[in-house]
């Protein structure tokens, strides 16, 4: 168990890193805006505060209609994906469990594609996240069921292979559906590569889902610590292991679905961030879950900042940036995990 003082110190450091990444995200861009002007403009938006930022109306519009919602959406999506990854790893007691490896993102991607192709863009506020949630839960269920039946309990390698198989199958169906409506290909393709430029409407749409899923997972941190010692020990302590797993699984799937619904498929956040957090702050889920949210938020804000500046004025899909970081990291984690199992 992580002592209160080191845990508070770790949360403070993570919060400072997130604040720095948000500030960098607000400053980066083709139109240069000074840090002082940004700080004054943000202060001016606070209740009962009135200061002059010196920004022209065009600059204020750029800041508050483009940059602020973009960095906030990147932070929320990154936090959701990282927390979901940590939650899945706690539920399955598997360091390789991840929204993308378990089929959650592929399932959500398929159902969102079905909504886009067959219902068009005017589907209402709730249609996309609800469809994404159903697909995420279905994808995880298929991967877990396949891994459990094929591997006598679903070891690490078996679960990963089952997740890859389910992801490939669902992605194939998604590709087939895309071909049914060729005029939507560009829109769907851009969504697949990841994008956090949706603006305030997207933030408002996922806010309730993000809040519920995050709070539920954070409240189950202590219970996941108990589960980590084994089901028999957990039951002897009076814990209903199956119920805890079910609740956390639903919350992690809701978090994944919310992120996918507004940003598309952004891989590796859910496996990179929780592993880094464990290396730096220990294995207790009471600290892993909140630090994963803060670290995932900072990670994706920085990734998005790189994506929109490295090839400026062109923009690199954010999923490409996370893959550059995540793919080598995943290979390293897989090699370490296999050494431990053997």
CA distance 33 to 27: 6
**pLDDT above 70 for 5:** no
CA distance 147 to 145: 6
pLDDT in the model for residue 338: 57
CA distance 77 to 258: 8
Task: Name the pTM for this structure.
Answer: 0.88
Query: What value does the mean pLDDT take over residues 37-60?
Result: 88
Peptide bond into 313 cis (omega under 30): yes
120-158 confidence digits (pLDDT tens): 655 445 577 778 888 888 898 898 888 877 765 545 567
Query: Residues 6 or more apart from 203 whose CB is under 8 A from it?
Result: 69, 72, 73, 76, 262
Contact 305, 24 (CB under 8 A): yes
Q: Is 314 left (phi over 0), alpha (psi -120 to 50) or beta?
A: beta
Burial 126-137 (b: 16+ CB within 10 A, else e): eebbbbbbebbb
Question: Domains in the chain and their CATH numbers?
Answer: 70-341 (1.10.3470.10)
pLDDT in the model for residue 1: 47
pLDDT in the model for residue 69: 95
Q: What is the dihedral of CA 246, 252, 258, 263, to 10 degrees?
A: -150
**pLDDT above 70 for 14:** yes
Which secondary-structure segment (H or E) carries 217? helix 200-219
Q: CB-based burial of residue 50 (10 Å sphere; 0-12 exposed, 13-18 middle, 19+ buried)? A: exposed
169-225 confidence digits (pLDDT tens): 998 998 888 887 776 667 677 767 788 887 898 899 889 999 999 999 999 999 999
């Amino acid at each position: 168990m992580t002592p209160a003082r080191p845990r508070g110190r770790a949360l403070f450091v993570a919060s400072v890193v997130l604040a720095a990444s948000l500030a960098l995200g607000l400053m980066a861009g083709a139109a240069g805006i000074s840090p002082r002007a940004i700080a004054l403009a943000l202060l001016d938006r606070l209740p009962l505060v009135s200061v002059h930022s010196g920004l022209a109306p065009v600059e204020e519009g750029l800041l508050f209609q483009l940059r602020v919602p973009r960095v906030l959406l990147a932070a929320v999506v990154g936090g959701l994906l990282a927390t979901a990854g940590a939650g899945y790893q706690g539920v399955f007691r598997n360091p390789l469990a991840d929204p993308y490896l378990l089929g959650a993102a592929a399932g959500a991607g398929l159902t969102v594609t079905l909504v886009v192709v067959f219902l068009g863009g005017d589907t209402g506020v709730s249609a996309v996240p609800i469809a994404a949630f159903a697909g995420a839960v279905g994808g995880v269920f298929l991967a877990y069921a396949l891994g459990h039946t094929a591997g006598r309990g679903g070891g690490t390698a078996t679960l990963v292979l089952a997740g890859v198989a389910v992801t490939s199958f669902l992605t194939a169906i998604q590709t087939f559906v895309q071909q049914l409506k060729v005029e939507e290909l560009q829109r769907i393709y851009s969504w697949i590569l990841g994008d956090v430029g949706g603006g305030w409407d997207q933030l408002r749409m996922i806010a309730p889902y993000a809040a519920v899923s995050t709070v539920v997972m954070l409240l189950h941190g202590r219970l996941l610590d108990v589960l980590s010692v084994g089901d028999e020990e957990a039951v002897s302590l009076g814990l209903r292991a199956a119920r805890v797993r079910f609740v956390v699984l639903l919350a992690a799937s809701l978090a994944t679905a919310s992120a996918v619904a507004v940003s598309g498929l952004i891989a590796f956040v859910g496996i990179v961030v929780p592993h880094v957090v464990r290396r730096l702050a220990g294995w207790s889920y009471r600290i892993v879950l909140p630090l994963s949210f803060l670290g995932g938020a900072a990670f994706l804000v920085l990734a998005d900042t790189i994506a929109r500046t490295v090839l400026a004025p062109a923009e690199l899909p954010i999923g490409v940036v996370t893959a550059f970081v995540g793919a080598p990291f995943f290979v390293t984690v897989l090699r370490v995990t296999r050494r431990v199992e053997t």
